[in-house]
Amino acid sequence: MKVASLSLNRQTIQYLLITGNYWAFTLTDGALRMLVVLHFHQLGYSPLDIALLFLFYELFGVITNLLGGWLATHIGLNRTMNAGLILQVAALAMLLVPTHWLTVPWVMAAQALSGIAKDLNKMSAKSMVKLLVPDEAQGSLYRWVAVLTGSKNALKGAGFFLGGLLLALLGFKGAVAVLAGALTLVWLGSVCFLGRDLGRTTHKSKFRHLLNKTPAINWLSAARLFLFAARDVWFVVALPVYLSSALGWQHGAVGGFLALWVIGYGGVQALAPALVGRTRPPDGATATAWALALAAIMACLALVIGLSDEPARSLIIGLLLFGAVFAVNSAVHSYLVVSYARQDGVSLDVGFYYMANAMGRLAGTVLSGWIFQVAGLIACLWLSALLAAMAALLSLKLSRSRPASV
């Protein structure tokens, strides 16, 4: 599946197209998430109810990542990316129905489509980058993946802000209609210009190969599951609801603050090669050290919030520290999976890895609503610290699995 005779110019153009598709999708995905959280909280839904709205989003993400890589080897990564874009348009269109149709099952179904779309898009983008960079250029691969991942998260933060802004200016349906129209234009451009020769293998992978991975991919995937559960167990539902209900922040302030946080988080991810791995790409020991740092930050934040008379200030400072360290963790992981992935079957390995990622988000999302509703924000913070520590423990198994040198 090695891409031959691609000039640097064509490689760059395709990389820009892939990144542009990923950016546009991520902008609408972040906006949609903020719209759903704030709109249904405004309608009186409990934190657990809101978390359940995203249950199918995460669950179908798990399934999509498992099957999407196998599908891409048969039909090509360009088709899986374009399918993700049009499915997101369909998910947005489902939310334009009359208000009395917006029941929990209906919104869950729309979120299921969105979850399929998001993970088809992400798996396709990350796998395509692997195919555009020669095996011996691991330093370039690290930088390209870091820019793709970091810029995506910056755009997700912008999407949070956009969602809050559009909700305030246009209302729920107006905001959703604008997002659906814009993404339709992106899909049309992608169908016309994205290369049609990426990702399809000459050797068709059998279905049984979906779970047949190298030890490095298995351990990294397990660590990724706990890492993202550690983030979402307090960030997805607990934090925005806490800011809105306990601290009295307006919807625009919540969306704007979380947007700035995710933009900064994405910026740190994009700069990760300059911060970590300047002389050589990161390895399993790097992943272990940064996961331990994340666990320590969450434990300290839980202690400080519990003792503080001004929780807002402590929470903001802790959130900034968490974001910076988590960004490096995520950038290191994103590089390692692309580096460990087999050239002939990259989408299978990347898809399996992001299946674990989706499982972590699923567990974190449900726990975020449940633990916050039952025990409050501090309990979510302690659980986050425990999950990050588990990610560090699993990363110890990666110490002997160094990617190829630059």
- Degrees to nearest 5, angle at CA 361 with 253 and 315: 35
pLDDT in tens, 303-332: 998 887 778 888 888 888 998 999 899 888
Predicted confidence band of residue 298 (pLDDT cuts 50, 70, 90): very high
Given this model, what pLDDT does residue 7 score? 44
Paired tokens of 65 = 């990542």
* DSSP string for 70-98: HHHHHH-HHHHHHHHHHHHHHHHHHTTS-
Given this model, what pLDDT does residue 3 score? 42
Given this model, what pLDDT does residue 6 score? 40
Predicted confidence band of residue 93 (pLDDT cuts 50, 70, 90): very high
pLDDT higher at 120 or 68: 120
User: Where do the domains of the chain lie, and which CATH numbers do they carry?
Assistant: 8-197+214-398 (1.20.1250.20)
Contact 59/189 with Cβ under 8 angstroms?
A: no
Given this model, what pLDDT does residue 406 score? 37
CA distance 305 to 380: 12
- Is the per-residue pLDDT at 391 higher than 90? yes
Given this model, what pLDDT does residue 268 score? 81
- Is the per-residue pLDDT at 14 higher than 60? yes
- Residues of the chain above pLDDT 70, percent: 80
Predicted confidence band of residue 5 (pLDDT cuts 50, 70, 90): very low
Q: Cα–Cα distances in Å, from 309 out to 172, 253, 296, 299, 312?
A: 36, 22, 22, 18, 9
Given this model, what pLDDT does residue 346 score? 66
Paired tokens of 309 = 């008379």
Predicted confidence band of residue 4 (pLDDT cuts 50, 70, 90): very low
Cβ neighbours around 288 below 10 Å, total: 21
Given this model, what pLDDT does residue 404 score? 45
Mean pLDDT (whole number) for 184-204: 72
Given this model, what pLDDT does residue 81 score? 85
- Is the per-residue pLDDT at 132 higher than 70? no
pLDDT in tens, 225-242: 999 999 999 887 888 888
Question: In terms of C-beta density within 10 A (0-12 exposed, 13-18 middle, 19 or more buried), how is residue 380 classed?
Answer: buried
Cβ neighbours around 313 below 10 Å, total: 11
Q: Which of 49-58, 149-158, 355-364 has the highest mean pLDDT?
A: 355-364
CA distance 335 to 182: 30
Q: Share the mean pLDDT of the chain.
A: 80
CA distance 272 to 146: 7
- Is the per-residue pLDDT at 141 higher than 70? no
Query: What is the separation, in whole angstroms, between the first and last Cα of the chain?
Result: 21
Q: Return the closest-CA partner of residue 234 out of 334, 373, 130, 333.
A: 373
CA distance 290 to 134: 28
Cβ neighbours around 299 below 10 Å, total: 17
Given this model, what pLDDT does residue 41 score? 75
